[in-house]
Structure formats: structure tokens, C-alpha cells
Amino acid sequence: MENFEKRLDDYAKLIVEVGVNVQKGQPVEIRIAADQYVLAEKLTKAAYEAGASSVRVDFNHQPLSLLHNQYKTVEKLAEVSAEDKARLEYSVENLPAMIAITSADPDGLKGMDMAKQQKASAIRYPIIKPYIDKMESKYQWVIAGAASPAWAKKVFPDLPADEALAALWDAIFKTSRMEAGTDPVKNWEKHNASFKAHMDWLNEQHFDYLHYKSAQGTDFKAWLNPKVKWLGGGENLHGGPERFGHEVFYNPNMPTEEIFTTPMKAKAEGTVYSTKPLSYMGQLIENFSITFKEGKAVEWQAESGAEVLDKMITMDENAAYIGELALVPDSSPISQSGILFYNTLYDENASCHIALGAGFPDLYEDYEKYSREELEKLGVNDSMIHVDFMIGSDELDIDGYTQDGKCVPIFRKGEWAFEV
């Protein structure tokens, strides 16, 4: 157990110093499940040691969310009280660093009245939106995972409870680049240097389209707007130097493995085959393929979960179009773990993937200046859904075609094919 204590200490420090990068004199807020009080204590200690002026911990508990949903009226669920508003104003003024820990039971909200919840959010959202807008990209934040017994049982159903919990913690540490005997801070420095080198290279190419091919049957082309950027890894806080006197580099997701972009909506052709199961709306979709014509999914099949796949692709008018292309080497820790986590933070980083649904406007320079129609013209899809599914494996090759028709290898057998 001593070893586990030490790893948890290291993990808390990594989240505070490398993840959210708490600055001297800055307040910190932590959102975490009540049963993760040990990690909450370690995060709080690490935050104070990094110079936090105050640390506020907001504990949550899935059964309480269920009770509120059951007994509150929609109006009460939607209510933004005077106390809530005062807190939001405090956040706007003081811009705390935000740490969110995900550990929930993937099935823990079964039985919740989702329609009631959605009605409440629809009323609540416009009231808190002005506060969110004022804080947008002005503070550091991070999402990281913590193992809970219910989540562990879902991921490792065949193991006894204590072994499942230990196995999930181990997977969380490893995928967060905390392999035993290595310096996690150094690992993340290297990881981010690699992100930057690959991103810079991709951004210099201004590819016209990418061509995916695998022995499994994937043969798929997706076109890019030459102005769109590739993005991945950590980032510098906007206004960091003005506020703190120096750049503040932080990592919003721990783990993170993907370098991603947003393709042109009506320009994709061919068929992709899934390489990992997709967990969607509490159900598994396995061994499926989707064929695209003029950007739109026109044909699909699945060995299991076909009805859920139907529902997903037909969710709204644009759910059948692609919003994201992401590159993840097969050698990355999540891919190598072979684990289905039933948690987006991990599963979206499992291998090369594409997403059906909404694209990312912020991958265009000065995106705030564009109207929705102008973004649509650039090729950015807009949909209610954004669902990643994995198409990467050690058999995947990807070529990029430049504006003048030159073919440049990007991936060979699931790994980067160019030197940086």
C-alpha cells in the first residue's frame, strides 16, 4: 500500500503542477466525487504547496444527482440562486484554476429522467452563459481520472473487486505517463515536445486531403480546408504573461494522445472500419463500418449494436457528416493497454479516430469573427452530436496529398512515418 500512497501523491502533484499548473496566489477549485476524498486531500495539499491562495473542493455523488432529478421540479433543477450567482461572480473576478476528476460509474445515472434534466439545462444555461463567456479561455483547467469501485467493475468485470480497483488505478497511472521508475514531469515535457514537432510539421503541409488504408478494409479519403490547423497537447494560457508575468503552459486533458483537425463537411469518400468497440448511450457498438459519399454516411453495418449506430447517425441532419480527424500512434499507452474504459477522456485517445457530428470552429484563425454560415462555408460541420470512434491499428497507413498533388506518408503501420 505504501507504493500506492506514493503513486497517488505523485499523481496529485502531476495534476496540479503539470496539468493545471497552479500559479502563486491563484485560487483553485476542485470538482471530485465524495468517495475520492483521499485524492481530494492530496490535490489540496499539492495546490497549497504550489502557492494556491485558497482551495475550494466541491464534492459530488451520483446517487444525490439521481435524488435531485427525482424530487426537484424542473424549475428548481434549473434555479440559479443568489448564492450560485455570487460564486459565478467570484470566479469571473478571480479566475481560479479548475481541476475536475472523473471517476463515475458509467452506469450510475441509469433511471435518471433525462428529458427533465435537459429541460432544466435549457432554462439554466442562458442564465449562466454570460458568466461562462466572461471566463472563456482565461483560466487553466484540467480533467483527469480516478478509479472508483463501480467504474473498475465495469472495466474489469471478471476480476474480484479489489483487484479490479487496483488494475484501474494502474491503468490510470500508466496512461498518464507515470510508468514506474520514470520521472512523470519529464515524460510530459517529452510528450509535449513531440506533440509540438508533429503538429508544426502537419501545419506546414496544408494538405488537400488524407487517404487512409488498412488491411482490414478501410479505404477512405477526407479533404481539408488549407486554412485549418492541427492541434494537440497542452497550451499557453491566454493572457498568462499579463496576469502572472510569464507564460503559463497547462494540459487540459490527462491523458491526451491525439493531434486533431476538423475536415470539410461535404468532402469525404470511402469506407472506414472500426478497430475498437464504441460505447454510446450505455450500449456497445462492435465491428462496424461506415461508407461515406460526398461527406455523408450513406451505408453502415455493425456486428452488434446496429440499432444504436442507426440512432447515432440519424440523430440530426448533420450527424451523418464528419467533424474531426485525429491521429494517435498505435504505440501510445492507451492503445497498448487494450482497455475499453467506458469514459471519453480515455477512450477518445485510444487510437486514430474520426468523429461524426460537430466540427471545431476554433481550428480556424480568428474563428470568433465568422458567422455560423461562414463557418459552414469553410466546411465546419454543426450537429447535436460529436462521437469519436476508433479506426487506428498497427495496420493503418495514412498518406497526405499536398495542394500540388504530391503524396507524403503520414502513418505507416500505425506509427508516424515522417521524421521531426
**In the stretch 372-401, what mask flags binding to Zn ion with x, by CB under 5 A?**
----------------x-------------
| Shortest distance, position 162 Cβ to Zn ion, whole Å | 33
Between 107 and 382, name the residue whose CB sits nearer to Zn ion: 382
User: Burial code of 25-58, b = ≥16 C-beta within 10 A, e = fewer?
Assistant: ebbbbbbbbebbeebbebbbebbeebebeebebe
Q: How many residues bind Zn ion, per CB under 5 A?
A: 5
Q: How many Cβ atoms sit within 10 Å of the Cβ of residue 69? A: 17
Interacting positions 302-331 with Zn ion (CB under 5 A): 326
Between 105 and 388, name the residue whose CB sits nearer to Zn ion: 388
Rg (CA), the chain: 22
| Shortest distance, position 79 Cβ to Zn ion, whole Å | 34
HSE (CB half, 13 Å, CA atoms) of 378? 26
| Shortest distance, position 328 Cβ to Zn ion, whole Å | 8
Between 40 and 387, name the residue whose CB sits nearer to Zn ion: 387
DSSP-assigned beta bridge partners for residue 283: 280
Residue type, 341: F
| Shortest distance, position 256 Cβ to Zn ion, whole Å | 9
Interacting positions 249-278 with Zn ion (CB under 5 A): 258, 260
Between 32 and 210, name the residue whose CB sits nearer to Zn ion: 210
Between 324 and 399, name the residue whose CB sits nearer to Zn ion: 324
Between 91 and 332, name the residue whose CB sits nearer to Zn ion: 332
Stretch that binds Zn ion, among 100-108, 218-226, 347-355, 363-371 (CB under 5 A): 347-355
Q: How many Cβ atoms sit within 10 Å of the Cβ of residue 136? A: 9
| Shortest distance, position 158 Cβ to Zn ion, whole Å | 29
Q: How many Cβ atoms sit within 10 Å of the Cβ of residue 94? A: 13
| Shortest distance, position 292 Cβ to Zn ion, whole Å | 18
Quote the strand ranges of 240-321, DSSP E. Answer: 249-250, 259-261, 268-273, 278-280, 283-293, 296-304
Residue closest to Zn ion, measured at CB: 326
User: Burial code of 295-311, b = ≥16 C-beta within 10 A, e = fewer?
Assistant: bebeebebeebeebbee
* Element containing residue 408 per DSSP (H, E): strand 407-412
| Shortest distance, position 85 Cβ to Zn ion, whole Å | 34
Interacting positions 188-247 with Zn ion (CB under 5 A): none
Spatial CB neighbours of 97, under 8 Å, sequence gap ≥ 6 = 20, 21, 22, 23, 26, 27, 28, 29, 47, 52, 139, 140, 141
Stretch that binds Zn ion, among 100-108, 330-338, 348-356, 395-403 (CB under 5 A): 348-356
| Shortest distance, position 386 Cβ to Zn ion, whole Å | 9
Pairing state between β 27-33 and 97-102 = parallel
Give the integer Cα–Cα distance in Å for 118 and 42. Answer: 34
| Shortest distance, position 159 Cβ to Zn ion, whole Å | 29
The number of residues in the chain equals 420
Q: Which residues bind Zn ion (CB under 5 A)?
A: 258, 260, 326, 348, 388
